[in-house]
Amino acid sequence: TTRKDMTVKFALYERVGVKEYWIVHPLDKTVLVYKLDGNKYARAEMYSAEEKIKVGIFEDLEIDLKTVFMG
């Protein structure tokens, strides 16, 4: 559930050092991207279905959200 994603998983991933944590909201067609800054996640960057996200941990990977949210 979203609540578990935003609390339990968020704290766990932050604690173990997951560099990027993405939360996808399919009904809203948005993605929140949290990036680790030191040992804490910085404020989330929000992306909409019309945008592309450059994946921070893979230099040449970019995801076009239009294709993710098609249909």
The tens digit of pLDDT for each residue in 7-65 reads 999 999 999 999 999 999 999 999 999 999 999 999 999 999 999 999 999 999 999 99
Residue 1: its pLDDT value, please? Answer: 85
Residue 1 structure tokens: 């559930």
Residue 64: its pLDDT value, please? Answer: 98
Sequence-distant (≥ 6) Cβ neighbours of residue 36 within 8 angstroms: 14, 17, 18, 19, 20, 42
Q: Which has the higher per-residue pLDDT, 70 or 71?
A: 70
- How far does Cα 60 stand from its chain's mean position? 17
Total-model pTM? 0.91
Would you give the end-to-end CA distance of the chain in angstroms?
22
Domain count for the chain? 1
Q: Is a pLDDT exceeding 90 seen at residue 71?
A: no
Q: Which domain holds residue 26?
A: 2-68
3-state helix, strand, coil in the chain (%, to 5): 25, 35, 35
